[in-house]
Amino acid sequence: MKEKKKWFQEAVFYELYIRAFADANGSGHGDFRGAIEKLDHIKSLGVDCIWVMPMYPSPLKDDGYDVADYYGIHPDYGSLDDFKAFLNAAHERGLRVITDLVMNHTSSDHPWFQEARQNPDSPYRDYFVWSDTNEKYQDTRIIFLDTEASNWTYDEMAKQYFWHRFYSHQPDLNFDNPAVHEEMFRIIRFWMDMGIDGFRADAIPYLYQREGTNCENLPETHAFLKKVRRLMDEEYPDAVLIAEANQWPEDLLPYFGDGDEFQVCFHFPIMPRLYQALKAGDKTPIVDIWKRTPSIPEGTQWMTFLRNHDELTLEMVTEEVRQWMWDAYAPEPRMRLNLGIRRRQYPLLEGDKRRWFILNAMFLSLPGAPIIYYGDEIGMGDNIWLPDRNGVRTPMQWSAEKNGGFSTAEKTYLPVIDDDTYGYQRVNVAAQEGDPDSILASTRFLIRTRQSQPALRSGEFEWEETGSTAVMAFRRVEGASEILCLFNLADSTKEIEADIRPDMVDLLARKQTVRRGGSTVILEPFAAHWFRAAA
Ligand code: NOJ
């Protein structure tokens, strides 16, 4: 007997940046009270779970991934009571809520680090990774290549170097110290006891350092993460633990363990390949990466995304493909950032609705639990002139009113997009409500259609031969529910041989047509079809 599916295997997630969403108190920063007022919008999309990006007290030099206090709420966003009210309001609407758990590092403002650097005898000294030289662990790559020259930074006060995999204001915690484990368990219990539904665990490949290795995916890291999972299973059995590990599929497999580590792991490499295949009109990159993706334990799931709050990372492609992707999607130097692209989804697709539709239909029917990034449900634009990744973190555009209806403040935390194409005056939720051709309506339609079909939610996956590299076909099957998904990645009509029986209903047939003549199927440019077999 197959196990019943877990909620997170079938869920669609919504990535919410509190600072960017809705400002209830006119401070220029989004807050939990504002987000509560917008929960009906999130619910209307048909998603199941909200991932709240870091909402902890923080200097916000890495937008909250630099945590200064694990037990609080950033004052700009509200109070713990506001967070609880948000959680309750989400739960009342049948929406689950997960938050980021940032275990790898703290902010240098965190009192642990401040005490550690000031007092060598403090127990907190050993919470971080120190060295008299900057020569250890030389085989470790630098992740933030644009800003960091080394993973070591000298601290004048401590008179030692400290280790950091990200910014030099984010000292890594020392997981060789059992006291750090205990701190993490306390933090996990604190938020879980408040009633959240799980965590997205940030940056988990890097918890340990060992000489002679690249300091990623080490056995010690897995041993600790299994302890975290055991705690979750024993105390919060319905919750989810999601691994953010930007790694190749074969290196990700150990993060599922034997079903005893993470229930869900981000699948980073599929993401750029969806864009690559669409631009090239050739399904090969998608087919190849799924062939390279191992099967995962029962009760687990991949997590997929098209865009998020970071740059569109090209770490998981070859150098040649990276250059090709930059040429194709980031022709201007300013569009490039680190090893990626600082643009949002709709501008990447040149605002072409056909491309948007096929990309999202592929994304929502391939295996995995998808995440929708706030703003992408209305095709929001970006501002490549803002520093770092801020260009894709601008205020949500609700209406054509001042600041896009996001805030009544004179100055918002970042300027709202107001260019000729993507400005809030044109691109906003209010303008798209009631327009059946809008990106918002199509987002709702695609998510709801997907979620109405068990086969699309988490069914078995199988490629179908089409005889054309431009035409991608696969079947999803769950019990009696069966869907044939068919996509023409080319900007030209394609004719293929396929057996689409007369009783099969195209769930996406709202706008599109497929001509069937015997076994010949004619696909429009960028056609997307989900054919349901009659039960
Ligand atoms: C991954 C997060 O997505 C990114 O925004 C952050 O900068 C790093 N982890 C460091 O925490």
Helix axes 270-280, 319-329, angle to 10 degrees: 60
pLDDT for 534 equals: 76
CB atoms within 10 A of CB 180: 20
Measured in Å, how far apart are the chain's first and last C-alpha atoms? Answer: 21
Residues at CB less than 6 angstroms from ligand 1: 62, 65, 102, 166, 202-203, 309-310
Q: What is the pLDDT of residues 70-86, one digit of tens each?
A: 999 999 999 999 999 99
Query: CA-CA-CA-CA torsion for 257, 262, 264, 266, nearest 10 degrees?
Result: -90
d(CA 321, CA 341): 13
Look up 202 and say whether it is catalytic: yes
Between CA 43 and CA 97 the distance in angstroms is 12
pLDDT tens-digit profile of 167-197?
Answer: 999 999 999 999 999 999 999 999 999 999 9
Per-residue pLDDT reduced to its tens digit, 359-407: 999 999 999 999 999 999 999 999 999 999 999 999 999 999 999 999 9
C-alpha–C-alpha distance, residues 171 and 181, integer Å = 16
What does the pLDDT read at residue 516? 63
- Measure 349 CA to ligand 1 centroid, in angstroms: 25
pLDDT bin (cut points 50, 70, 90) of residue 502 is confident
Question: Could you give the CA distance from residue 53 to residue 100 in angstroms, rounded to a whole number?
Answer: 6
Residue to mutate, 66, 166, 315, ligand 1, most ligand atoms under 8 Å from C-beta: 166
Rounded to an integer, what distance in angstroms lies between the CA atom of residue 372 and that of residue 380?
12
- Are both 1-100+375-451 and 457-533 of the same fold? no
Determine contact, residues 163/62, Cβ cutoff 8 Å. no
Instruction: Report whether pLDDT(514) > 80.
Output: no
Confidence bin at 432 (pLDDT 50/70/90): very high
3-state secondary structure of 160: strand
Average pLDDT (403-417) is 98
CA of 51 to the centre of ligand 1 (A): 14
Q: Up-side HSE of residue 434: CA atoms within 13 Å toward CB?
A: 2
For the cut 80, the answer to whether the pLDDT of residue 40 exceeds it is: yes
Q: Where are the domains of the chain?
A: 1-100+375-451, 111-163, 457-533
Just give the CATH number of 111-163: 3.90.400.10
Fold that domain 457-533 belongs to in CATH: Immunoglobulin-like (2.60.40)
CATH code linked to domain 1-100+375-451: 3.20.20.80
Model confidence at 518, in pLDDT bands (50, 70, 90)? low
pLDDT band at 34 (very low <50, low <70, confident <90, very high): very high
Phi, psi of 290, rounded to the nearest 5 degrees: -70, -30
| Residue range 461-472: mean pLDDT, rounded | 97
Minimal-distance CA residue to ligand 1 atom 3: 310
For residue 517, pLDDT over 80 is answered with no
258 annotated active-site: no
Average pLDDT, the chain: 96
Q: State mean pLDDT over 234-243.
A: 98
Q: Distance of alpha carbon 327 from its chain centroid, rounded? A: 24
Alpha carbon 480 to its chain centroid, in Å, reads 31
Tell me the C-alpha distance between 503 and 510, whole Å.
17
Q: pTM of the predicted model, to two decimals?
A: 0.97
- Angle, CA 441 vertex, CA 435 and CA 447 arms, to 5°: 170
Active-site entry in 48, 172, 244, 382: 244
